[in-house]
Amino acid sequence: MGYDETEAIRNLVSKAGSIPGRSPRILSRRASLEEAEGCLSKIESTLVSESDALQRFASVDAAVKSLRPADPMHCIHPQAIRDSAATFVSGFPGKVFYAVKVNPSPRVLREINAGGVANFDVASLSEVALARGMFPKARLAYTNPIKSRESIKSAYFNYGVRDFAVDTFEELHKILEETSIAKDAMASDLSILVRLAMPKGSATHDLSGKFGADAEASAQLLRDADKVAAKVGICFHVGSQCMDPISYTEALARVSDVIKLSGVQLDILNVGGGFPVAYPDVVPPPLSEYFAAISAGVKKMKLPKTCEVWGEPGRALATPAETLVVRVELRKGDALYINDGGYGSLFDGMLLGQRWPVRLIRPDRASRSKKLVPYKFYGPTCDSMDCIKGPFLLPDDVNEGDWIAIGQQGAYCSAIRTNFNGFYSDLNVEIMDRGYLGAPRFSGSVNK
Ligand SMILES: Cc1ncc(COP(=O)(O)O)c(C=O)c1O
């Protein structure tokens, strides 16, 4: 490419003055957080009143009975979210950053925060603005390894973001340029997290393909970042819905190798997301085994006492947040044509064969067949790909006009939905139970 990254870093470093404890030293006017916070007052918060606008019900069944929803209905379980956040925070051996992308609903963010999660992992400028607008004092880690120059600059100057991930020299260079206080003065308060590549492991949602530098490149990046940033760290992601805690043990061993190669001491070790939940026929080990593997792995690494350990859970916190209620518009044999689908909240079901717990809701006719049979779902769009194979076990007499509650829908479901073919529902209600299908360790029958 002709891009001389070492030269580029060197050029930036040559403008340097001083950061205590770092070499070479960087002279700069400190971009104060106060300045950035000043800009925050300009952020328009349309969020605060959201929860007040939601109708509340004692149960999903009560909401269906009252509203008889013709559109897909998103049932939010505030108590279940708070519980899963509190459980995670109390067990995880480090600081918890919720991955906003997984479910950015302000209602969900607020409950996650109420459960004790004070920091947020953000992947875009709009997530930065959302999280900062709601939580002015939160630490926001911008961990998408590839960001636009505009978003880096705005995140730093307007929203007080100081933690950025990189997996290339070009991105490091970009960040240094865009956060420069003046032409010849660099920001002195950056922390740079080098994203280390991971192999495909035990996760059902592989994330090994797109991001991450190999061990040698990560070591070099760490050395370069160490010259120009106030703090340096390593981050990684073992893949989402990681089914074996050993993936974290192995990942930490890789991090150790990179640290040795680089000769740099870490200020931050970010073990990413990946923490699993239970779905039908998928019961991972308890979270405590993941936390124990991380604690043991970190202990072995003999990191400096000042090194912070971070985690960025998404799925494990958000999954119990929502139950989706859909309506059956037509039945053809074992195929139920429902009003949400693969271009809506059930994207992972279409693409990855994801299954969720389901339950029939029939408010008028109490009786239903006791015999359960397997169904597939078709979504409402005209694309024949819009099929969620399941199988989903429901009574054998399901028919038009029945509602189906689909549980464990809080993560990567409503966040992904599109309005393809004009189908998009923003019907949200709040359910005041502790999580309709049990959370976060749901397993067993949902057809009670
Ligand atoms: C950088 C980063 N952190 C955290 C997460 C959340 O992962 P999970 O939902 O598996 O916990 C993701 C998900 O893609 C991610 O990209």
Q: Is 274 exposed, middle or buried (CB count within 10 Å of its CB: 0-12, 13-18, 19+)?
A: buried
53 lies in a domain?
A: no
By the 8 A CB rule, do 115 and 85 touch?
A: yes
Calculate mean pLDDT across residues 249-276. Answer: 97
**∠ CA 184-128-277, rounded to 5°:** 135
103 pocket-lining for ligand 1 (C-beta < 6 Å): no
Number of CB atoms found within 10 A of residue 361's CB: 18
How far CA 168 is from CA of 3, 48, 173, 194, in Å, comes to: 12, 38, 9, 8
pLDDT tens track for 95-114 = 999 999 999 999 999 999 99
Q: What percent of the chain has pLDDT over 90?
A: 77
116 conformational bin, left if phi > 0, alpha if psi -120 to 50, beta if neither: left
Q: Is 357 in the pocket of ligand 1 (CB under 6 A)?
A: no
Distance 314 CA to ligand 1 centre (A): 6
Ligand 1 probe mutation, 92, 97, 237, 294, most atoms within 8 A of CB = 237
pTM, two decimals, is 0.88
Say which CATH number the domain at 251 has. Answer: 3.20.20.10
Within a domain: 327? no
Q: What is the pLDDT of residue 132?
A: 98
Residue 92 within any structural domain of the chain: yes
Average pLDDT, the chain: 87
As for how many domains the chain has, the answer is: 1
- Is position 138 within any domain? yes
Could you tell me the residue range of the domain that residue 113 belongs to?
79-318
Would you say residue 269 lies in a domain? yes
Decide if 21 is inside a domain: no
Categorize the per-residue pLDDT at 11 as very low, low, confident or very high, splitting at 50, 70 and 90: low
342 CB under 6 A from ligand 1? no
The whole-angstrom separation of Cα 387 and Cα 378 is: 5
- Judge contact between 77 and 112, C-beta under 8 A: no
Q: With respect to residue 386, please indicate whether it lies within any of the assigned structural domains.
A: no
Backbone φ, ψ for residue 152 (5° rounding)? -60, -50
* pLDDT tens, residue by residue, 320-353: 999 999 999 999 999 999 999 999 999 999 999 9
Which atom of ligand 1 lies closest to the CA of 207?
Answer: 14
Predicted confidence band of residue 6 (pLDDT cuts 50, 70, 90):
low
- Our answer on whether the CB atom of 237 is closer than 6 Å to any ligand 1 atom is yes
Position 289 in a domain? yes
